[in-house]
């Protein structure tokens, strides 16, 4: 059933429970103590399995699930593997307590393994995978991206060495340890007094693609201050009372998306002004207007694996049709 359109007059909504986006699940015990034992000890356990990556994709089964590969079937360089954690509960393919590693494979291995399954894109399948597998894929991709960017010391330019089962890279000259980093970004549902939502179209997107407004948190800045700054910079409107709605890792390459809802500040103009640099268009939508635009294909929303889609559908009150 279609949701109702705009409400009349200013409205303050009670705080709601946080949303749970598709990639926000964490069903693995990260077991940091096992990192100290190194990869060879984990490979000695016949229960250990691999999440296999190649060019930003993960190997899937013929049925489209995430494949958990026996290390005996792949040449594993201990310095190229990363310990993800241990299974909290038993499943058909993974006993309770079994270790899971991530491994980026060569072109040759990828070609061979691909004949037994398919290569999955997290953006496309994240919302379709079982929660455990979505979390595994997200974690594996984030760590693989970090290793790709951290192969050399930022201080000396020397190649770093891998330690603690892939969770540390060490500068050989200074002994300085480098750890995986995450870049926090806020993503915001801006609402007005009529409970309309503000969506923007990025200059790099195809016409008709719309999403929430977002931006990175700057050094020395709180999340709430980042919400207010980003919305004013991108849309020219002033918002107030940012309310946290949920978070989601987004390993493209290393973001943590922190979802908020905020309203136009009392006495401020609600007329948006695209910055012209990042956004080409900004539009207010009622629930009925957005549903109709999505149904007819004039508006394309973010994919179902994204926190943007989760926040939009939380505001709408249910699923919206259409695919990104």
pLDDT tens, position by position, 276-294: 889 999 999 999 999 999 9
User: Which residue carries 């603690």 as its tokens?
Assistant: 164
160: tokens are: 């770093």
Global pTM?
0.91
Separation CA 317–CA 311 (nearest Å): 10
Q: Specify the pLDDT at position 238.
A: 98
- Pick the closest to residue 189 from 128, 130, 242, 247 (CA basis): 242
pLDDT at 143 over 90: yes
Separation CA 271–CA 265 (nearest Å): 12
Strand partners, 55: none
pLDDT at 177 over 80: yes
Residue-range domain boundaries for the chain: 24-178, 182-316
Which whole number is the average pLDDT over 143-149?
Answer: 97
Which are the contacts of 154, defined by CB distance < 8 A and separation ≥ 6? Answer: 178
- Please give the share of the chain, as a percent, with pLDDT higher than 70: 94
- Pick the closest to residue 38 from 27, 29, 28, 48 (CA basis): 48
Q: Specify the pLDDT at position 13.
A: 56
Please determine whether the domains at 24-178 and 182-316 fall in the same fold group of CATH: yes
The answer to whether the beta carbons of residues 99 and 45 sit under 8 Å apart is yes
305-322: b (≥16 Cβ within 10 Å) or e: bbbbbbbbebbbeeebee
How long is the chain?
324
Which whole-number Å values give the CA distances from 302 to 119, 128, 154, 241, in the listed order?
21, 15, 35, 25
Which whole-number Å values give the CA distances from 223 to 180, 216, 258, 262, in the listed order?
21, 9, 8, 12
Q: Specify the pLDDT at position 321.
A: 84
- Please give the share of the chain, as a percent, with pLDDT higher than 90: 89
CATH number of 182-316: 3.90.79.10
The answer to whether the beta carbons of residues 75 and 85 sit under 8 Å apart is no
The yes or no reply on domain 24-178 and CATH 3.40.50.300 is no
Separation CA 219–CA 221 (nearest Å): 5
Rounded to a whole number of angstroms, the distance between the first and last alpha carbons of the chain is 22
Categorize the per-residue pLDDT at 323 as very low, low, confident or very high, splitting at 50, 70 and 90: low
The DSSP-derived string for 154-185 is TTT-PBPEEEGGGTEEE-TTT--EE----EEE
Q: Give pLDDT tens digits for 227-268.
A: 999 999 999 999 999 999 999 999 999 999 999 999 999 999
The answer to whether the beta carbons of residues 313 and 321 sit under 8 Å apart is no
The answer to whether the beta carbons of residues 203 and 234 sit under 8 Å apart is no
3-class secondary-structure state, position 21: coil
Q: Give pLDDT tens digits for 25-81.
A: 889 999 999 999 999 999 999 999 999 999 999 999 999 999 999 999 999 999 999
């Amino acid at each position: 059933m279609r949701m109702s359109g705009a409400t009349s007059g200013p409205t303050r909504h009670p705080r709601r429970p946080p949303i749970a986006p598709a990639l926000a699940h964490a069903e693995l015990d990260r077991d940091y103590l096992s990192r100290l034992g190194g990869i060879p000890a984990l490979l000695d356990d016949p229960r250990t399995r691999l999440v296999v990556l190649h060019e930003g994709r993960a190997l899937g089964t013929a049925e489209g699930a995430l494949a958990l590969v026996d290390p005996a079937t792949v040449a594993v360089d201990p310095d190229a593997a990363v310990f993800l954690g241990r299974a909290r509960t038993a499943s058909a393919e993974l006993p309770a307590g079994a270790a899971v590693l991530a491994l980026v494979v060569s072109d040759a291995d990828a070609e061979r393994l691909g004949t037994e399954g398919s290569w999955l894109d997290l953006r496309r399948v994240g919302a379709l995978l079982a929660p455990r597998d979505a979390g595994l894929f997200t974690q594996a991709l984030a760590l693989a991206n970090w290793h790709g960017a951290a192969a050399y010391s930022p201080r000396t330019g020397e190649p770093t060495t891998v330690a603690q089962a892939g969770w540390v890279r060490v500068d050989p000259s200074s002994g300085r340890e480098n750890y995986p980093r995450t870049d926090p970004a806020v993503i915001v549902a801006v609402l007005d007094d009529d409970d309309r939502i503000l969506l923007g179209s990025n200059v790099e997107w195809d016409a008709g693609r719309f999403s929430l407004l977002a931006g990175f948190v700057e050094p020395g800045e709180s999340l709430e201050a980042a919400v207010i700054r980003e919305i004013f910079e991108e849309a020219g409107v002033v918002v107030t009372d940012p309310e946290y709605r949920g978070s989601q890792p987004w390993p493209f390459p290393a973001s943590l998306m922190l979802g908020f809802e905020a309203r136009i500040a009392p006495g401020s103009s609600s007329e948006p002004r695209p910055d012209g640099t990042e956004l080409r268009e900004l539009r207010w939508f009622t629930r009925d207007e957005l549903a109709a635009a999505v149904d007819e294909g004039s508006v394309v929303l973010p994919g179902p694996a994204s926190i943007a889609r989760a926040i939009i559908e939380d505001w709408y009150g249910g699923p919206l049709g259409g695919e990104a």
